[in-house]
Structure 1
Amino acid sequence: MTLTLTGCGSGSGSDGEVTLKLIAADYGDSRSNGSQHYWDQLARAFEKKNPDIKIDVQVYSWTDVDKKVENLVKDGHAPDLAQIGAYADYAAKGKLYSADELLSIPTQADFTTSLAEAGEYHRVQYGMPFGASTRRLFYNKKLFAQAGITAPPQSWNDIARDAQLLKAHGVKMPFALPLGPEETQAETLMWLLSGGGGYTDSIGKYRIDSRENIKTFNWLKDDLVGKGLTGTDPAKLNREDAFQAFTEGKVGMLNGHPTLMKQAEDKGIDYGTVELPGINGKAKATMGVADWMMAFKQGGHRAEVGKFLDFVYSAKNVEEFSGEYGLLPVTTSASQAMLADDKYSKLHGFLKQLATAEFYPANKTSWPMVSKTIKARMGAAVGPRGNPAGVLTDLQNMADTADNAAQ
């Protein structure tokens, strides 16, 4: 739901009334459940309790929202609040309030620890988590039964064996591996984690060309793609298309996030989910993804912004938003409420993983460039002429250069 923005920056009316401008991303999959409805209801409820503060929300698609905020900031018309995909660039340029300048102590302390830490730039929290998700392996129960598979995979060997059985029974994509340009950085991180590696080490330095990461992509190239178990060229398969194929019953297994559950149920797919398999058992961690709320200093309404955010992050509001859009709560109080509610039982497996999930290095201003390059390169690395070690080494060198330039 993309609305036309007629003005930006906050303002004060003649009677002392303050209007806060918020640019937000759309989580809905149709006009009827677009995020504008959520924000309008939330804003009206807040204004009823705080008649001297008005909230003006404009919602944009994920395709447009980050660029919209970037252009507004560049033109000197930063919104008071933005709920988008990345915060580090703005924090590095001193444009954001820190979380402790805005939120009450109970509100800030309520953030899930792993998410709060992922929102830090130079050990100060500027990014306030808004929506979160983790990843699990999805499998088609009907296809598994037809292939004689009695239990979901727990290790890479299980994946390869099950994929061979699915292939033998005519499944078009035994394991869907979306390494196309849409979201390759996500699929890559899931596999790196399952192989005991990741994008960075324990102190936040890039380690893209680690021995573990090279081993992981060699296995994907030789034991999955090379044996025809992905059914299509991973470099040409986007996540959206992989999800679509799963909902059409053409995919045996794939890595997915909570939104895929509703998509599969709507198409009558009987599916199951398990923790990501690793080399010799469950992966050391799963991937977590968070979107971010941030507050710009330009408008100067720190107190009003803080009051609104305390309202936004109340347990009731966080739980309602997460439940509406199939996301995970970003606060401890809302997470506990969701875990205690059987209505959300299918999200419980994803939610229990959140505390130990590993996130993109979004606190690095170099990450957008690194992510863009991963999208462009990793799909070809597992192809017939691919060279995983060479690609990962090139990525490491590029990442180090970008990281050093950002210091």
Structure 2
Amino acid sequence: MKIRLLAGPFALLATAAALTGCSSGDESDSASGPQKVTVWVMKDSVTDAFLDRFTKDFEKQHDRVDVDVQVQEWDGIGEKVTAALASKDAPDVIEVGNTQVAQYAASGGVADLSDRVSDLKGGDWLPGLAEPGRIDGKQYGIPWYAANRVVLYNKDLFAEAGITKPPTTRDAWLADTKKLNKGKVQGIYLPGQNWYTLAGFIWDEGGDLAKKTGGKWEGTLDSPEALAGMARYRELQALGKGPKDSDEAKPPQADVFAKGDVAQVVAVPGGAKIVEQANPALKGKIGFFPIPGKTADKPGSVFTGGSDLIVPEASAHPEAAYEVVKALAGTKWQSDMARTMSYVPNRTSLAKVLAGDEGTAAMAAGAAQGHATPNSPEWAAVEATNPIKEYMTAVLTGTDPAKAARTASQSITKTLNP
């Protein structure tokens, strides 16, 4: 067993295991000893305990391959992965952010795993993980885990307002928020530049942030559907005192919610722990529900964050690498990881493993309606300047929405077509 610590003094310890290679190419060098399959896992993605369980299980079942798991820092990982994919000595499996797959596929060196999708139960994958891993009809990224935003609410404030259960439709959500918004209580704290939440409203209306037509990407914030999503965001945002010119980090919305006079925020479930640390009196008083959709039969659309697994074309042991991916993406370890890390599993049918936890269960319900940002290798450059945030502030401070949307769409189009 190999143990590596490559990400500095605060990195997770990554353990390793053994598994059996399958292809003739892998077998050619196995006669002289076990193959070594190198796996890059990002810092804090999983715990030492999870890695230990995983590797021990592999060692019981496979004895011809050593898996060398190396923990990587997120800072600077883009350049490091791109360089590795271009080398002849690439790792065999790499964890990447789900929205980074297009960038790496465009740079070259990522194996096309389309013929493995059926074997991996791809028909059941969360769309927000599967879609960004699929470029021009080819599956490069294999979904590993997901996380998305839900509504965190103050149970005491809901009870005081006479609201006995969370809303399940957008109209009911808006009505409840208006009812909560009395006196010193903010019905919702929604910063003006929370563009991930806006994206969900746009997707619910059938719009998108950008679309590819005839080989060219175009910003689409000025479409009727996207403008309808912005109108909904504007209506909801007005029911609180969230700043119109900043996002959820300025000020940290967990600190705002912790004061006890805010009824709702949109955040990942783990945000509740931060709130409770800031105000222990709220412990046990925070509830969760999926962002409501247009109708009660399904939640609203959400941005799905998370990770995919890729196999470099330069992998020395592609079949053994695939077996690692298959195990990590399979039912046993997906279920274990979901319980350990409170992540959403990569398959919709596995959401039931989170049924005992209110926050992660709400997140899993929302994940079934998950989406990713536009699948362009240049999208990271859009986020770097983020004209969407500027657009939102402009609309919320009185600029004509159609005019502001055209300006933002033109900026997105320019960036996506360098």
Q: Which amino acid aligns with 1:303?
A: E
Deviations 1:144-193 (A, max 9, x none): 2234445544555655554455443313x53222455xxx4422312323
Query: What is the total number of aligned residue pairs between the two structures?
Result: 384
**Residue in 1 that maps onto 2:201:** 191
Q: Which amino acid aligns with 1:193?
A: W
> Where in structure 2 are the equivalents of 1:2-401 lying within 5 Å?
3-4=7-8, 15-27=32-44, 35-63=47-75, 65-70=77-82, 72-73=84-85, 78-85=90-97, 86-100=100-114, 103=116, 105-109=118-122, 111-112=124-125, 114=127, 115-153=129-167, 158-159=172-173, 162-171=176-185, 173-179=186-192, 184-200=194-210, 206-218=219-231, 220-221=233-234, 223-225=235-237, 227=238, 229-233=240-244, 235-238=246-249, 241-260=252-271, 267=280, 268-277=283-292, 285-289=300-304, 290-331=306-347, 335-336=349-350, 338-339=351-352, 342-344=355-357, 346-361=359-374, 363-372=375-384, 373-374=386-387, 377-384=390-397, 386=399, 388-401=401-414
Measure, in 1, the Cα distance between the counterparts of 2:168 and 2:118.
41
The Cα shift of 1:88 comes to 0.9
The Cα shift of 1:300 comes to 2.9
- TM-score calculated relative to the size of structure 1: 0.77
Measure, in 2, the Cα distance between the counterparts of 1:313 and 1:237.
32
CA contact (8 A) 1:26 1:36 kept: no
CA contact (8 A) 2:299 2:365 kept: no
Q: Report the CA distance shift for 1:300/1:110 in structure 2 as closer, same or farther (over 3 A).
A: farther
Secondary structure at the residue paired with 1:143? helix
The Cα shift of 1:113 comes to 5.9
Secondary structure at the residue paired with 1:57? strand
Query: Sequence identity, in percent?
Result: 21
Q: Report the CA distance shift for 1:360/1:89 in structure 2 as closer, same or farther (over 3 A).
A: same
The Cα shift of 1:316 comes to 1.0
Q: Report the CA distance shift for 1:351/1:63 in structure 2 as closer, same or farther (over 3 A).
A: same
The Cα shift of 1:287 comes to 1.2
Measure, in 2, the Cα distance between the counterparts of 1:77 and 1:239.
42
Unmatched 5+ residue regions in structure 2? 12-25
Measure, in 2, the Cα distance between the counterparts of 1:64 and 1:250.
39
Secondary structure at the residue paired with 1:24? strand
Q: Which amino acid aligns with 2:333?
A: N
CA contact (8 A) 1:139 1:253 kept: yes
The Cα shift of 1:293 comes to 1.0
Measure, in 2, the Cα distance between the counterparts of 1:280 and 1:311.
37
CA contact (8 A) 1:196 1:283 kept: no
Q: Report the CA distance shift for 1:160/1:306 in structure 2 as closer, same or farther (over 3 A).
A: closer
The Cα shift of 1:83 comes to 0.8
CA contact (8 A) 1:193 1:284 kept: no
Measure, in 2, the Cα distance between the counterparts of 1:381 and 1:301.
52
Secondary structure at the residue paired with 1:168? coil
Q: Report the CA distance shift for 1:383/1:284 in structure 2 as closer, same or farther (over 3 A).
A: same
CA contact (8 A) 1:78 1:298 kept: yes
CA contact (8 A) 2:208 2:226 kept: yes
Q: Which amino acid aligns with 1:319?
A: S
CA contact (8 A) 1:194 1:277 kept: no
Measure, in 1, the Cα distance between the counterparts of 2:71 and 2:256.
29
CA contact (8 A) 2:50 2:340 kept: no
**Residue in 1 that maps onto 2:18:** none
Q: Which amino acid aligns with 1:26?
A: K
Q: Report the CA distance shift for 1:232/1:356 in structure 2 as closer, same or farther (over 3 A).
A: closer
Q: Report the CA distance shift for 1:224/1:145 in structure 2 as closer, same or farther (over 3 A).
A: same
Secondary structure at the residue paired with 2:187? strand
Secondary structure at the residue paired with 1:177? coil
The Cα shift of 1:296 comes to 0.9
Q: Report the CA distance shift for 1:256/1:104 in structure 2 as closer, same or farther (over 3 A).
A: closer
Q: Which amino acid aligns with 1:306?
A: Y
Q: Report the CA distance shift for 1:302/1:342 in structure 2 as closer, same or farther (over 3 A).
A: same
Secondary structure at the residue paired with 1:193? helix
Measure, in 1, the Cα distance between the counterparts of 2:118 and 2:231.
47
Measure, in 2, the Cα distance between the counterparts of 1:328 and 1:368.
24
Which deviates further from its counterpart, 39-48 or 297-306? 39-48
Deviations 1:314-350 (A, max 9, x none): 3111111111111111135xx34x5167535653343
Measure, in 1, the Cα distance between the counterparts of 2:122 and 2:225.
35
